[in-house]
Amino acid sequence: DVKVTQSSRYLVKRTGEKVFLECVQDMDHENMFWYRQDPGLGLRLIYFSYDVKMKEKGDIPEGYSVSREKKERFSLILESASTNQTSMYLCASSSDRAYGYTFGSGTRLTVV
Amino acid sequence: QKEVEQNSGPLSVPEGAIASLNCTYSDRGSQSFFWYRQYSGKSPELIMSIYSNGDKEDGRFTAQLNKASQYVSLLIRDSQPSDSATYLCAVNEGGGSYIPTFGRGTSLIVHP
């Protein structure tokens, strides 16, 4: 089974901190994605990447950046954490648009 | 703007009944359709994919696709309390897009 691993399940950070959320997949998938999920708002795409060194903005990229130096690893960076970035962050990967996503277990981030 | 609509529910069914979850979409060019199950506090899990008109069965789950009417549905036979979750519909357009549009999900409650 494809495994997508997110480094932290729960994280508490202070306003203004730089935050790194790590995601690693073990099935050589080309496509990787970062979403946030908030009650009533559903899944919102932050950034995605379909190749190493490539990145594309999703629907809500403001305040975030990403890094993909290796195929298996896709990192989400909160440049200066703010309280409105408190959310569940979900990483996902896919081998092809026809096959659906495999999601990681999620990181619940609280910014205080 | 592409839209995927789901009734938020909750849909409440007794144990052993058939649960019917529906999803409509706006993009006529859509080619790939997915159902994800999300337990409370957990990440989404892909449970069904369907690409052509008609029915696709997998155990107690049946996905139904009608492209002419632009809807996709998920039937769960012999519903169990363990099926209680939020079900997300996702739709991919054709033409090389890697990004599905997600509905906001339908909450299903199966009561004993």
Q: What is the pLDDT of residues A40-94, one digit of tens each?
A: 899 999 999 999 988 999 999 999 999 999 999 999 999 999 999 999 999 999 9
Confidence of residue A99 (pLDDT cuts 50, 70, 90): confident
Tell me which chain B residues have a C-beta less than 8 angstroms from the C-beta of A106: 42-43
B7 shares contact with chain A (CB less than 8 Å): no
Closest Cα in chain B, distance from residue A111 (Å): 18
- Per the CB < 8 Å rule, is A98 touching B43? no
Mean pLDDT, chain B, integer: 94
Cα Rg of chain B, angstroms: 13
- Segment A10-36, tens digit of pLDDT: 999 999 999 999 999 998 999 999 999
Of A41, A97, A102, the CB nearest to B46: A102
Which chain B residue has its CA at the smallest distance from A58's CA? B99
- Mean pLDDT of all residues in B80-98: 87
Instruction: Look at residues A22, A76, A31 and name the one whose alpha carbon lies nearest to residue A52.
Output: A31
Confidence band (pLDDT; 50, 70, 90) for A98?
confident
State the nearest Cα–Cα gap between B93 and chain A, in angstroms.
9
3-state SS of chain A is CCCEEECCCEEEECCCCCEEECEEECCCCCEEEEEEEECCCEEEEEEEECCCCCCEECCCCCCEEEEEEECCEEEEEECCCCHHHCEEEEEEEECCCCCCCEECCCEEEEEC
Closest chain A residue to the Cα of B31, Cα to Cα: A98
Q: How many CB atoms lie within 10 A of CB A93?
A: 25
CB contact (8 A) between residue A100 and residue B99: no
CB contact under 8 A, B102 and A42: yes
Interface test with B, best of A2, A23, A43 (most B CBs within 10 A): A43
Which one, of A91, A89, A70, A77, lies nearest residue A4 by Cα?
A91
> What b/e string do you get for B69-94 counting C-beta neighbours within 10 Å, with b at 16 or more?
ebbbbbbbeebeeebbbbbbbbbbbe
Q: For residue B82, what is the DSSP state? A: G
Angle (nearest 5°) at CA B109 between A92 and A91 = 10
Beta bridge partners of A103: A92
